[in-house]
Amino acid sequence: MKVIHGIEEIKEPFENAVVAIGNFDGVHLGHQAILRLVRKKAGEINGTSVAITFDPHPVKILGNNGSPPLITVFEQKIELIGQMGIDVLICIPFDQSFASVTAHEFLENILLDKIGMKAMVIGRDYTFGKNRKGTVSFLQQYAEKYGFAIVVPDWIPVSSDNRERISSTHIREIIEAGRVADAKSLLGRDYQIRGEVCTGRDRGGRKLGFPTANIRIQDELCPKTGVYAVVVQTNQRFYKGVANIGYSPTFEDHLFTVEVHLLDFSGDLYGEKIRVNFIDRIRDEKKFNNINELSGQIRADIKEARKILSNIAPYSSRPEKEL
Tens of pLDDT, residues 174-233: 999 999 999 999 999 999 999 999 986 655 544 567 888 999 999 999 999 999 999 999
With vertex at residue 91, the alpha carbon angle to CA 85 and CA 97, rounded to the nearest 5 degrees, is 155
The β-bridge relationship of strands 17-21 and 48-55 is parallel
Please provide the average confidence, as pLDDT, over all residues in the chain. Answer: 89
The more confident residue out of 90 and 56 is 90
SS3 320: coil
pLDDT of residue 205: 47
Distance CA 161, CA 155 (A): 13
Indicate the CATH number for domain 2-151: 3.40.50.620
Average pLDDT (69-79) is 94
Residue 115 pLDDT greater than 90, yes or no: yes
Q: Please give the model's pTM, rounded to 2 decimal places.
A: 0.89
Can you give the residue ranges of every domain in the chain? 2-151, 190-309
**Residue 255: per-residue pLDDT:** 82
If pLDDT is split at 50, 70 and 90, which confidence band does 247 have? Answer: confident
Which amino acid type is present at position 315? Y
How far is the C-alpha of 180 from the C-alpha of 38, rounded, in Å? 29
**Which letter, b or e, does each residue of 13-41 get, where b requires 16 or more Cβ atoms within 10 Å of its Cβ?**
ebebbbbbbbbbbbbbbbbbbbbbbbbeb
Contact 17, 50 (CB under 8 A): yes
Q: What is the CATH topology of the domain spanning 190-309?
A: Elongation Factor Tu (Ef-tu); domain 3 (2.40.30)
